[in-house]
Chains A and B, each alone.
Chain A
Amino acid sequence: MKLLPSALVACLGVATGGCDIIYYMCDEPPAARLEAPALLSQTGLYDPLASDRVAGDVRAFRPRFELWSDGADKRRWVHLPPGARIDTSDMDAWRFPVGTRLWKEFTRDGVRVETRLLERIGEGDGDWLAVAYLWREDGSDADLALAGVIDARGTGHDVPAAAECQACHGGRASGALGFSAIQLAGGGEGGGGDGDDELLDLDDLVASGWLSEPPAGAIEVPGSATERAALGYLHANCGHCHNQARPAGGASRCYDPDNELDFWLQVDRLQSPEDTPTYQSAVGTVIAPGDPGASGVIGRASTRDRFVQMPPLGTELVDRQAVEILEDWIREMRP
């Protein structure tokens, strides 16, 4: 029985410290989004005849710009329903067919800890099943972990609760954050286009006819290597919240940051670094050209004080390499 609405709790929480204290107030996911198989082996990731082999209709992929997960090694897979197509009429917000499944496996300090499942279960925005599976110590299977796990399997890795998934994934209509045109486009450092034939990339998707509309041309993140790395980091680690195309309504999302920052790269705004939303919205606000020390984005990225840190969720360790890239990038900017 809920005698006090969570909104009141949220209001009190926000009133006590605004965004400094509570970034994300999550509601309980609808029941349909919790009706997941009890075991990872039942989700279709693995070949039913060989539990250590990925199923034939499942393809591995790797986004060009990765979300920092405290140094965890990650593997990802996708399954698209046979004969279905991804609606790519909006190249920056793909709409996936019902039945699409994506998995992401986390290995921390050599220990395979969890595999997350994201499954499209309906046509509406936010109609995604999002849960995590905790690997057993003997590696025989992984068990559904709706409530999440702190310091799972003796590592420092935290498995998110099902209620937390939409905190990030609800920030974009597409739901699948790392499976997009920009993330799968080849020709650059890392990602599915780095020549690894085993990994699905944008060209494979086009060739397979899985996209309703192929991209009009090559998709290249502009700028120098440092600029591309910085823009890519901000896109993958900040853009799912800090973008101006967040789905309306709070049903799919926990809490919308109240600011105008936009770190989400867009296919039609890649002519130059200055053309990107990141430059348009952040330079001069949280980025002080030529002065990393005066840039709020550096202060946020280089701390893990939970009331200050960015990203606020899913990380307890600073991504030092990313901070250095951001500092170099800002230092190279002309004031």
Chain B
Amino acid sequence: MRARALLAAALVLAASGRARAEPAAGGGDGPDAAGGASPGAARGASPGAGRRVSIDLDAGLAIASAPFPDDAIPEVESAGLANFVVLGAGYRLRPDLEIRLRLPWTGSAVAMPAGAHRGTSARGNPELSLAHRRALAGRLRGVALELRGGVAAPLASHGPARDLMDDRSLALADAATLWREPHLFTPGVVGLTAGATAERRWQRGAVAVSAELPLLVRLHDAELDPARTRAVGLVPELALRGSIGGTWWALSAGGHLALRAPAPVRAPERAGDPSAVQPGLEMFATVRAGPVDLSLGGAGALGGALSGTRVITAAVRARL
């Protein structure tokens, strides 16, 4: 039944064209391992060639379960149906340099203790970033390296403290993205992000390795229990993706590992505390039609604190 629900969700999202994407590296003339259809992959946006402006829209729908570390409300779980939307736009300042803006929203059906669901939505932290891409030489000839840096403004909505619905919706979105975008979905923090992607391409395939280092600097407690919030959170992520495809299609798959070291919000001390390490898998199919990429895929947590979380993501990327 859940499979049917997820399939229905995919169809709904695909039909509505709500998705997200980015300019394909190399101008869209082959599979793009870094440019999967997940928000985490969006950080791997490459300036590409040809077009100066890109817009992208990610939409994900997940059955998610996230630890919600706050004792201010006794139910320390946040579970339910999570929708997230990340709207992005990029402008290529130079052939090798792009500036990007991303605006995240979440809308969730948060499970209540007795089994009902409550609809809520929250604004995430908008992010402004720069990406520099260059081709390596020497023994690494054929490898493209992208370096990224950005800042996420602390504009995520939160509160009120009596039920923390916005915070829980953001926690669900954070789970739905498998902790790969904590700077977008953590309230009360400034996110300072740094990342790098190395990508090797062949005629019909590509492999990319990426690392992200989002530093979350807390400015206020966002209605959370102040004793539970940390001044600094760090959630590094490593990812490996591969893809095959042709001029108008691509299939990609990958895995990632995120680590809360430390988490921006401290979990209550109790037996069975969730793991700080979160592995995940993802698979996507992409169809290219002129300047537009359409991607549809799925991702899921492999055990860990987000165990049981599964997400369907759809993406549209357009290069203008």
Mark out the residues of chain B between 58 and 106 whose CB falls within 8 Å of any chain A CB in the assembled complex. Answer: 61, 73-77, 81, 83, 85, 105-106
Q: Which residue of A10, A21, A134, A306 has the most chain B CB atoms within 10 A of its CB atom?
A: A21
A167 with B81: CB separation less than 8 A: no
Q: Mark B41-67, 1 if CB is under 8 A from A, else 0.
A: 000000000000000000001000000
Say yes or no for A150: interface residue by CB 8 A criterion. Answer: yes
Q: How large is the interface on A (under 10, 10 to 19, 20 to 34, 35 or more residues)?
A: 35 or more
Question: Complex formed: what's the CA distance from A38 to B12 in Å?
Answer: 44
Q: How far is the CA of A314 from the CA of B116 in the complex (A)?
A: 9
Complexed CA–CA distance, A161 and B76 (Å): 13
Q: Which residues of A contact B162 (CB under 8 A)?
A: 34, 146-147
- In the complex, how many angstroms separate the beta carbon of A217 from the nearest chain B beta carbon? 38
Which of A22-30, A174-182, A208-216, A285-293 faces chain B?
A22-30
Do A161 and B114 contact each other (CB < 8 Å), given the known contacts A6-B119, A9-B109?
Answer: yes
Tell whether, in the assembled complex, residue A148 and residue B165 are in contact, meaning their CB atoms are under 8 Å apart. Answer: no
B219 at interface by CB-CB < 8 Å: no
Kindly state whether residue B115 has any CB partner on chain A within 8 Å: yes
A17 within 8 Å of B by Cβ?
yes
Q: Determine chain B's interface SS by DSSP, over half rule.
A: mixed
B107 within 8 A of A: yes
Give chain B residues whose Cβ lies under 8 Å from the Cβ of A4: 83, 85, 105-107, 121
Considering only CB atoms, which chain B residue lies closest to A313 in the complex?
Answer: B115
Residues of A within 8 Å of B112, CB to CB, are 26, 148, 160-161, 163-164
By a CB distance below 8 angstroms, the chain B residues around A152 are 74
A267 within 8 A of B: no
B115 touches A306 (CB 8 A): yes
- In the complex the two chains form, is A149's CB within 8 Å of B74's CB? yes
Cross-chain contact B12 with A164 (CB below 8 angstroms): no
- With CB as the reference atom, state the residue of chain B lying closest to A161: B112
Query: Does B120 lie at the interface of the complex (its beta carbon under 8 Å from any beta carbon of A)?
Result: yes
Cβ < 8 Å to B, chain A residues 17-62: 17, 20-28, 34
Also in contact, A3 and B116, with CB within 8 A (given A34-B162, A147-B73)? no
Report whether B117 and A24 are in contact in the complex, using a CB–CB cutoff of 8 Å.
yes
Contact of B165 among A8, A20, A28 (CB under 8 A): A28
- Interface contact B115-A312, CB-CB below 8 Å: yes
A3 to B84 Cα, complex, angstroms: 12
From known contacts A15-B8, A16-B5, A28-B165, infer whether A10 and B113 are also in contact, taking CB-CB under 8 Å. Answer: no
Of B5, B119, B120, B121, the residue contacting A21 (CB under 8 A) is B5
Chain A residues lying within 8 Å of B163, measured Cβ to Cβ, are 28, 146-147, 161, 163
Among A9, A25, A163, find the residue whose CB has the most chain B CB atoms closer than 10 A: A9
The interface residues of chain B lying within 8 Å CB-to-CB of A20 are 1, 5
**Complexed CA–CA distance, A314 and B112 (Å):** 10
CB closest chain-A residue, reference B106:
A4
Residue of A nearest to B8 (CB): A16
Cα separation A264 to B157 with both chains bound (whole Å):
43
- Given the interface pairs A34-B162, A161-B163, the reply to whether A3 lies near B117 with Cβ below 8 Å is no
A15 touches B105 (CB 8 A): no
A4 to B105, CA, bound (A): 8
A158 close to chain B: CB less than 8 A: yes
In the bound complex, residues from chain A placing their C-beta under 8 Å from that of B106 are 4
Answer whether residue A254 sits at the interface, using C-beta atoms and an 8 A cutoff.
yes
Instruction: Kindly identify which residue among A15, A147, A163 contacts B75, using a CB–CB cutoff of 8 Å.
Output: A147
Q: In the bound complex, do residue A254 and residue B116 qualify as a contact, i.e. CB atoms below 8 Å apart?
A: yes
Q: Is the CB of A167 within 8 A of B116?
A: yes
Query: What 0/1 readout, one digit per residue, does chain B (133-154) give for beta carbons within 8 Å of chain A?
Result: 0000000000000000000000
User: Does A207 interact with chain B (Cβ within 8 Å)?
Assistant: no
Residue pair A134, B74 in contact (C-beta under 8 Å): yes
Chain A contacts for B116, CB-based, 8 A: 23-26, 160-161, 163-164, 167, 254, 313
**Complex: how many Å from CA A254 to CA B162?**
20
A43 to B162 alpha-carbon distance, docked (Å): 20
Q: For chain A residues 131-178, which have a beta carbon within 8 Å of chain B?
A: 134, 145-150, 152, 158-161, 163-164, 167
Closest residue of chain B to A316 (Cβ to Cβ) is B115
5 contacts between A and B (CB under 8 A): A4-B121, A134-B74, A149-B75, A161-B112, A167-B114
> A4-B121, A12-B12, A159-B114 known; 11 other A-B pairs, CB under 8 Å?
A2-B121, A3-B122, A9-B108, A15-B8, A15-B12, A20-B5, A23-B115, A28-B118, A146-B162, A149-B74, A167-B116
* A-B residue pairs, 8 tightest by C-beta: A6-B119, A17-B5, A148-B113, A4-B121, A160-B114, A9-B119, A24-B116, A4-B107
